Structures are given as C-alpha cells and as structure tokens.
Amino acid sequence: MSATSAARATGIAAWWDAIRRDRKASIGAALLAVFVLVGIVGPWLVGAPDALVGVPLQPPSGAHWLGTNGQGQDVLAQLVVGTRVSLAIGFTVGLAVVLIGALVGVTAGYFGGRVDALLSVLFNVFLVLPGLPLAIVIAAYLPSGPLTLGFVLVVTGWAWNARVLRSQTLALRRRDFVAAAIVTGESSFTIITREILPNMMSLLVAQVIGSTVYAIGAQVGLEFLGLGDVSAFTWGTNLYWAQNDSALLTGAWWTFVPTGLCVALVGFGLTLLNSGFDEITNPRLQMERAWRAHLAARGQAATRSTPVVRDRG
C-alpha cells in the first residue's frame, strides 16, 4: 500500500466525510461556524464596546439586549468584539502548539535513541509542571498583552501534543512502508514529510481542534486573573471586570453568564467536531451500531452471549 493511499484512508478527506455523516460532528461544525461568523462580521454590527451608553448594571432590555456592565458599557458589544480576539488567539495558539509539538514529538519518535531520550525528558518535565502557576509566573514578568498571553499559552501547552505525536510516530515507524522507504535510501526529512506526516493528518487535525479548546479555556482563565491586557475587550477580561465590579453580589448575572456560555458553546462545538473523528479510529463503535440495529429490527435486545436470530429467509 503506497503512502498516499494510506494517507487517503486516514487523511482529511476521510475526516471531512466522517463529519458529514456523523450528527454530533455536524452540530459541532455548525456551532463553530456561527461563532466564526460573529467574530468576523460581528464587530461591524454592534456599537463601540467602550462607549458609555447607559446607567451601569442595567438588566437586558430592548435597548441593550444583554444589559450594561459595571461601567455602563454595552455587554453585547463587548461580547461580540471579544469573540474575534478570543477566537483568533485560540486558533493561533492551537495551531502553534501542534506545530511545536509535532516538531518535537515526531523528531523524538522517528530518530529514537539519545534524541528521543532528551526530548522525552523535555516534554515530560513540561507536562508535569502545573500549567497555570507556570503561566502566571512567566506572564507576570512580561508586559501584558496578547503576545505575552500567546507566549505563555504555547509554553504551557505544547508538551501534551509532543507526547501524543511521538507515540503515533513510533507506531508508524514500525510499519512496512516506512521500512521500505528507509531501505531505498530516502532521506529522513523526506520520509518524515512524505510518509509519516500524511498518515497522521487526521490526528493532527484532531490535535489542533483539541488544542484550540485548551487555548481558549486557558486564555480566559489567565485574563480572568488580570494577566491579559485588562483594557482590551476579550471574553476573559469581560469576566475579570464582572468579578471586579462584584457583579455577582449585585445580582448582575448578565455581565458574566452570556460570556461563559459562549466559551462553553465554542468549546463544546469543537469537541463535538472531534467526536466525528472518534468514529474512524474506533471502528468497533461503528460495528456495534449496525449490530444493534440488526437485532432491534428483529425485535431482539442485545445480549451478552452471542444472540440467535432466525429469519424466514
């Protein structure tokens, strides 16, 4: 089996197909699309997020669909504007950690030996050091802003991808087509880019999605602490100000509930998207479905022991 046909079986085409066929993944894709759309065109459709538009802490009304915050600013505007930045940082960091993770993980898995030992220790150390405290300590020394935020998120997030991709590389390396390529004298670089990476395509995409979920969540957490640029408008800083202005204790739920809901919906949507991928890597789940349907059609429940069905034909 050539590398390209193997890649096709596990590559992006198969992944996209699985999404369309799987209901959960389709819902996830739809959710994501909505937010991306809001992120792109939203800011032009709402007012300025920093404008003082009314009395502070007004509940949702016709004039302000999500009410006003502790400063008297429109919550909906802040939410929509925040979508763009939060998603942008999320995707960028998600992509970055997978790229770095792939660089380290694939190198370690492919070359083995000392290189592997060294790189493994490196990412294992980063895996075991607690992420949030590390991020805080680093961010505290750097000027606040999206770059710092992105930097600490990448530093604390790349190790997980390195580990997963290293395992996958190790498994692929033992396969016949790689051995064949080595024997024919292909250079390591060629083998990695032409034989190994294409076969990990669907895994890489799943990793990007998963890392984006992590990035958005971690970003919101750090901003909530006040480590982002608190004068910027992002989901996390919205929550920071909500907490700061004691929104909870004054009953102003609209200042934090919609934002949290958005974070969850995007995260959930991305996770659902990834679950479509689950079906490919776990054919057992697929088989089980067909089997249960077959039994149900004949009026039988699934039993622990092999069931006996008798058709007329």
Full DSSP string of 178-219: HHHHHHTT--HHHIIIIIIHHHTHHHHHHHHHHHHHHHHHHH
Q: How far is the CB of 11 from another protein (least distance, A)?
A: 20
Q: How far is the CB of 21 from another protein (least distance, A)?
A: 11
By CB under 8 A, residue 217 contacts another protein: yes
CA gap 271, 210 in Å, rounded: 7
Residues 165-184 that bind another protein (CB under 8 A): none
Residues 286-305 that bind another protein (CB under 8 A): 286-288, 290-292, 294-295, 302-305
- Which position has the token pair 């050539």? 2
With CB under 8 A as the contact rule, the residue among 6, 88, 95, 136 that binds another protein is: 136
The two structure tokens encoding residue 202: 């669907």
With CB under 8 A as the contact rule, the residue among 28, 101, 109, 131 that binds another protein is: 131
With CB under 8 A as the contact rule, the residue among 34, 40, 117, 132 that binds another protein is: 132
* b/e map 145-170, b = 16+ CB within 10 Å: ebebbbbbbbbbbbbbbbbbbbebbb
With CB under 8 A as the contact rule, the residue among 54, 65, 243, 245 that binds another protein is: 243
Q: Which helix (H) or strand (E) holds 222?
A: helix 201-225
How many chain residues are in contact with another protein, going by CB under 8 A?
64
With CB under 8 A as the contact rule, the residue among 2, 4, 71, 124 that binds another protein is: 124
Q: Say how many C-beta atoms besides its own lie within 10 A of residue 304's C-beta.
A: 5
By CB under 8 A, residue 9 contacts another protein: no
Residues 195-214 that bind another protein (CB under 8 A): 213
Tell me the one-letter amino acid at 176: D
Smallest CA-to-CA distance from 158 within 199, 103, 115 is with 103
CA 184 centroid distance within chain: 38
Pick between residue 47 and residue 217 the one whose CB is nearest to another protein: 217
Tell me the one-letter amino acid at 276: G
Which CA distances in Å does 241 have to 67, 74, 128, 246?
A: 15, 13, 32, 8
By CB under 8 A, residue 276 contacts another protein: no
**Where on the chain is the footprint of another protein (CB under 8 A)?**
24, 121, 124-125, 127-134, 136-138, 140-141, 213, 217, 220-221, 224-227, 239, 242-243, 248-249, 251, 253, 256-257, 259-260, 263-268, 271, 282, 284-288, 290-292, 294-295, 302-311
